[in-house]
Amino acid sequence: MPTYKIRGIDVDFPYEAYDSQLVYMEKVIQSLQQKCNALLESPTGTGKTLCLLCATLAWRKSLGSFTTGVKMQTGDKSEGKNEASLSQSEFSGLSTIVYASRTHSQIRQVIQELKRTSYRPKMGVLGSREQLCIHDQVKLLRGKTQTNACRVLCRRRGKRQCSHFLKVTEYMKDNPHLGEEPVDIEDLVDIGRRFGPCPYYLSKEVHKNVDIVFAPYNYLIDRGYRNSLQLSWSNSVLIFDEAHNLESICADAASFDLPSWLLTACISEAESCIDLSIERRDKSNDKSQNPDDFAILRALLLKLEKRIAEVPIESREFGYTKPGSYIYELLADLNITHKTASKLKDIIAVASTLLEEHNQQKSTGTVCRLDRIGEILEIMFRNGGTAHAKYYRVHVREVEAWAGNGSKGKSRTLSWWCFNPGIAMEDFPKCGVRSIILTSGTLSPMESFAQELKLDFPIRLENPHVITPNQIWAGVVPVGPSGRTFNSSYRTRDSPEYKQELGNAIVNLARIVPDGLLVFFPSYYLLDQIIECWKSVSNLNSTSIWDRICKHKKPVIEPRESSSFALSIKDYMTNLNDTSASGAVFFAVCRGKVSEGLDFADHAGRAVVITGLPFATSTDPKVRLKREYLDQQSRPQGELFKVLTGDEWYNQQASRAVNQAVGRVIRHRHDYGAIIFCDERFSHAHRQSQVSRWIQPHLKCFSRFGEVVFTLTRFFRDIRIQGPTKVSLLEAKNGGNIGETPSSEQHMEKPLSPLTTPVAQNFDLKASYLHDTEKVCTSFLGEIVPANRSSLSSDNGNIVHCESSRDICSKVLRGRKTLLSQECGRVDLADCCELGEKSKDAPIAPCSSKKRRFITREYNLKQYFGNSKEHSSSDLRHKDGVTSNSLELIGQRGNLVDSVPSVSDETQGSAFLAQVRDKLSAAEYIDFVGYMKALKTKAMKISEVLQCISRLFSGPDRLPLLKRFKDYIPAKYHSLYEHYIEKT
């Protein structure tokens, strides 16, 4: 296992690390060493989680060995004098690492990554009762009902007490080493079923003395959960993985909504408590519950309901808005203050227990609504003061609602919205937390995160992807096939012309993109409207756009209802594997379930289309008040501090939703795909600056839709011909790290793990590259017929520029039709439609089976190793001083004849190349040329190329090639190449 020295810390990493991974780990360690916060973005598939674990645990290990549990015994074993496990961190004051992610499933994946590392810290994992409970009855319940039922059973004595709860202490005494090997929620459940202890309370015991604990977000953000954790927060390290939604989660955790139906239910429950307490007093003389307390609670709730109903709402659109402090004035009239709130919360807790016991006796799983009132009081009176009210707004809104008897009436909701997410995070610095690390694959734009959370993030990183440039196609498509502008703003989105133009574009893309296609709309409203338009037929003789899409891909539409979502995913995967169509298309919504956390790797997502900017509804009262709040906060600051304005926040929220949707494709090192922005607004520089940093270098704006058809078709054809490295599903799940080489030679004086096959190289799309071998001959490009051919106007032979910012470019030159005819005897329809050199009715000729041919000219082989300081700045010469010659990869246009280097009196470089061609098969020779070209274009690092070459020249008959190739390598890499030779 390789070890890297990063900022003085030895980091064991299970694979050879890429440059981006080393940079990421360096930032993590810097944050921990300097006791500061970090904001780190690294795309999905770059091994972010693994880097985070290795760097953090390496730093922690450098401070002292991990905690171990030792069972100490004194006296006779039969006396049971077993002491509890000792905790090293308990006495040493070493940092505890708290690793939080959004869901239990994500935590499960993190623990799987921990198992890949060499680190074995004492660990604990926290989960909910829904995940961990094994009690026959309680495990069937959900939410507060389950929690209360569990507590009641644990408080009982005798046979009625939960037997699993009783076995926890004994099991921990006998197994103090639990957690020294990675354990997941499933492992704890398995222990509970085999040996009897409650997995839920087992996890709570284990986490008391650990080096690292894994937990969902709400365990840290919610004060109630956080206070229940027996952790020492001083000098601890908090890691929030998948943190792209953290600001909204924090704001929601500090806010509340109290609809009238909930208040009515609470009043009814208070009445029930009065009756139950009186009944208990009369039947069993049980005076533990005072009915007068419940009567007071009921009276207060009735008064609150009346006050909310009396609020004057002049406009249903704008509702009734007051400053945050108004909530205390409203409640003070009801005699609910800081002094009385604690007493009221105690009454609610007793009422909740009473109702739960009654529900258990009646075998009903009714949720106690009064608990929500207790949570609301906790939010409002949490600090014993009202200073935090300045970050809030009180809002009362009214909507039409149907009553239980079928009559229509008005329903009001009282809201107390927090517009400063930093409130949920402010306690951590006060508790002495050492560092807070926020990381995700999509944090961009970053600035709003720091400003919203009100934390200082001196360390920030926006990492590039580990894929090569030819694995991604990213383009802004401002116009459709007919030249109409794409703009999904409210001014144009409802017009039939826009909907039809977008539909024609999707038909083209459905035809071009293989396998899975994801199409994201800004809202459910727009999704429904556009698909309805596509399904309509303008006249009897035409086919609807929807039917034309269905000819190429089977469609699935994201449902609004969460209950139907799992079925839609199943339908998509079924359609994707249906051989009667060329894949499936998923029509989804930004900020919907499809855009959040789902993995559309490999064929499940070959392209993602963004049809517009998903701005939140500007008239939504919460959005409107948030913008007003930010604008008010920014005014008094002047130019002294950078404060986020309402418009900036509004735009950045839309951009972040786009980045999240785009992140569904290209999920690992060997994946590839296209990112298509079908809205002219993405062509603006300020909008592109908010796109994830790893996409920006590849992003190109197209002026005509025909260019998109041509370049996108070429992209998928080339990747199909060459193909990225084919790895197993296991490798893909591992983040593409198995058997990979590092991305830089600077750290690589140590042995490398074997590379399978080269990643698809970046060739210039010129004559020498356009020949298809007999083995990989494809008619894929020839099958593409644009849905609206007439829009693909002629360019009169001018150059169509298709370059990315990394200069991996291809040019369609004048006379391309003639060139293609000479090369493979066929007509490329996409080319012809682009340049207007063929009639739209021209037939498609079959693909030629001719082998690739290359032009050989005198060329310096050393050019491929570059002339930077990292390589060698001088021309490489043979021992006799003669300059080596090589192959000229790009031949003269139209001059395609075989030419074999002479082995006579020409330079030794030419002779060497002749031997290479003689010893290698046609496919291997193409690979060899590809390695050289990839090195020149920096698509592959020199360490990768040397490794691939050594494997290519392996075998007894190729031993001379293996040894001679060393003469063409800069001296600084000789030892590295010799290492590959030895391994070969």
Residue with tokens 């009567």: 295
Lowest mean pLDDT among 48-52, 141-145, 602-606, 912-916: 141-145
Backbone angles phi, psi at 215, to 5 degrees: -155, 155
Q: What per-residue confidence (pLDDT) applies to 18?
A: 87
Separation in Å, CA 69 to CA 78, 90, 95, 645, 805:
21, 12, 17, 52, 55
Residue 717, number of CB atoms within 10 A of its CB: 21
Q: Between these two residues, 386 and 323, which has the higher pLDDT value? A: 323
Q: What per-residue confidence (pLDDT) applies to 889?
A: 32
Q: What is the mean pLDDT of residues 225-230?
A: 78
Q: What is the mean pLDDT of residues 420-438?
A: 89
Average pLDDT over the chain, rounded to an integer: 76
* Residues in contact with 631: Cβ distance below 8 Å, sequence separation at least 6, in sequence order: 645, 646
Q: What is the pLDDT of residues 812-852, one digit of tens each?
A: 323 333 333 333 333 232 333 333 333 333 333 333 333 33
Q: What is the mean pLDDT of residues 381-387?
A: 80
Q: Is the pLDDT of residue 74 over 50?
A: no
Burial readout 601-639 (b: 16 or more C-beta within 10 A, e: otherwise): bbebbbbbbbbbbbbbeeeebbbbbbbebbbebbeeeee
What is the token pair recorded at 447? 């600035």
Instruction: Tell me how far apart the alpha carbons of residues 743 and 879 are, in angstroms, rounded to a whole number.
Output: 31
What is the token pair recorded at 918? 């003689």
Q: Is the pLDDT of residue 637 over 80?
A: no
DSSP 340-400: HHHHHHHHHHHHHHHHHHHHHHTT-----THHHHHHHHHHHTSSSSSGGGGGEEEEEEEEE
Q: Are 899 and 885 in contact (CB under 8 A)?
A: no
Task: Report helix angle 545-552 to 524-535, nearest 10.
Answer: 100
Tell me what percent of the chain is helix, strand and coil, each rounded to the nearest 5.
45, 10, 45
Q: What is the pLDDT of residues 753-801, one digit of tens each?
A: 232 333 333 333 222 322 332 333 333 344 444 444 333 333 333 333 3
Q: What per-residue confidence (pLDDT) applies to 721?
A: 80
Residue 144 CB-density burial (10 A; 0-12 exposed, 13-18 middle, 19+ buried)? middle
Instruction: Tell me how far apart the alpha carbons of residues 717 and 513 are, in angstroms, rounded to a whole number.
Output: 10
Beta partners for residue 587, in sequence order: 519, 557
Q: What per-residue confidence (pLDDT) applies to 427?
A: 83
Lowest mean pLDDT among 223-232, 318-327, 671-680: 223-232
Instruction: Tell me how far apart the alpha carbons of residues 760 and 764 are, in angstroms, rounded to a whole number.
Output: 13
Q: Is the pLDDT of residue 407 over 90?
A: no
Q: Is the pLDDT of residue 744 over 80?
A: no
State the distance between the two ends of the chain, measured CA to CA, in whole angstroms. 20
Residue 44, number of CB atoms within 10 A of its CB: 22
Q: Between these two residues, 796 and 651, which has the higher pLDDT value? A: 651
Q: Is the pLDDT of residue 400 over 90?
A: no
Residue 899, number of CB atoms within 10 A of its CB: 15
At 903, the pLDDT band (50, 70, 90 cuts) reads very low
**What contacts 24+ positions apart, CB below 8 Å, involve 455-459?**
455/37, 455/422, 455/425, 455/429, 456/36, 456/37, 457/36, 457/37, 457/38, 457/39, 458/34, 458/36, 458/37, 459/27, 459/30, 459/31, 459/34, 459/36, 459/37, 459/38, 459/39, 459/40
Q: What per-residue confidence (pLDDT) applies to 365?
A: 58
Residue 867, number of CB atoms within 10 A of its CB: 12
Q: Is the pLDDT of residue 430 over 90?
A: no
Residue 750: what residue type? K
Beta partners for residue 10, in sequence order: 5
Q: What is the pLDDT of residues 505-547, one digit of tens each?
A: 999 999 999 999 999 999 999 999 999 999 987 665 678 999 9
Q: What per-residue confidence (pLDDT) applies to 984?
A: 65
Q: Is the pLDDT of residue 578 over 50?
A: yes
Report the percentage of the chain scoring pLDDT > 70.
Answer: 75
Cα-Cα-Cα-Cα dihedral of 253, 254, 255, 258, to 10°?
Answer: 80
Q: What per-residue confidence (pLDDT) applies to 403?
A: 58
- Answer yes or no: pTM beyond 0.85: no
Cα-Cα-Cα-Cα dihedral of 625, 628, 633, 638, to 10°?
Answer: 170
Q: Is the pLDDT of residue 879 over 60?
A: no
Q: Is 152 helix (H, G, I), strand (E, B) or coil?
A: helix
Residue 724 CB-density burial (10 A; 0-12 exposed, 13-18 middle, 19+ buried)? buried
What is the token pair recorded at 100? 């939080």
With CA atoms as reference, report the closest residue to 831 among 843, 842, 817: 817
Instruction: Tell me how far apart the alpha carbons of residues 74 and 891 are, in angstroms, rounded to a whole number.
Output: 85
Q: What per-residue confidence (pLDDT) applies to 318?
A: 87
Backbone angles phi, psi at 679, to 5 degrees: -165, 130
Q: Is the pLDDT of residue 467 over 70?
A: yes
At 497, the pLDDT band (50, 70, 90 cuts) reads very high
Instruction: Tell me how far apart the alpha carbons of residues 247 and 453 are, in angstroms, rounded to a whole number.
Output: 7
Task: Report helix angle 260-284 to 291-310, nearest 10.
Answer: 160
User: Taking the mean position of all CA atoms in its chain, how far away is CA 689?
Assistant: 19
Instruction: Tell me how far apart the alpha carbons of residues 244 and 523 are, in angstroms, rounded to a whole number.
Output: 20
What is the token pair recorded at 844? 């498609």
Q: What per-residue confidence (pLDDT) applies to 838?
A: 33
Instruction: Tell me how far apart the alpha carbons of residues 249 and 64 are, in angstroms, rounded to a whole number.
Output: 35
Q: Is the pLDDT of residue 729 over 50?
A: no
Q: Is the pLDDT of residue 402 over 90?
A: no
Sign of CA dihedral 352, 353, 355, 360: positive
With CA atoms as reference, report the closest residue to 725 among 771, 672, 778: 672
Q: Between these two residues, 266 and 885, which has the higher pLDDT value? A: 266
Helix (H) / strand (E) element for 671: namely none
DSSP 706-762: HHHHHHHHHHHHHHHHH-PPP--HHHHHTTS-TTPPPS-STT-SS--PPP-SPPPP-
Q: What is the mean pLDDT of residues 730-756?
A: 33
Report the percentage of the chain scoring pLDDT > 90.
Answer: 35
Q: Is the pLDDT of residue 802 over 50?
A: no
Q: What per-residue confidence (pLDDT) applies to 772?
A: 32
Q: Between these two residues, 630 and 739, which has the higher pLDDT value? A: 630
At 621, the pLDDT band (50, 70, 90 cuts) reads very high
Q: What is the pLDDT of residues 126-169, one digit of tens each?
A: 888 888 898 888 888 777 778 877 887 887 776 778 888 888 88
Q: Is the pLDDT of residue 459 over 80?
A: yes
DSSP 274-300: HHHHHHHHHHH---SS-HHHHHHHHHH
Backbone angles phi, psi at 166, to 5 degrees: -65, -25
Q: Is the pLDDT of residue 562 over 90?
A: no
User: Taking the mean position of all CA atoms in its chain, how far away is CA 475?
Assistant: 21
Q: Is the pLDDT of residue 595 over 60?
A: yes
Helix (H) / strand (E) element for 586: namely strand 583-589
Q: Between these two residues, 865 and 204, which has the higher pLDDT value? A: 204
Q: Is the pLDDT of residue 928 over 90?
A: no
Instruction: Tell me how far apart the alpha carbons of residues 323 and 419 are, in angstroms, rounded to a whole number.
Output: 12
Q: What is the pLDDT of residues 191-215, one digit of tens each?
A: 999 998 999 999 888 888 889 999 9
Q: What per-residue confidence (pLDDT) applies to 924?
A: 76
Most distant CA atoms of the chain, gap in Å: 117
Q: What per-residue confidence (pLDDT) applies to 447?
A: 78
Residue 56: what residue type? T
Q: Sort residue 40 into left (φ over 0), alpha (ψ -120 to 50) or beta.
A: beta
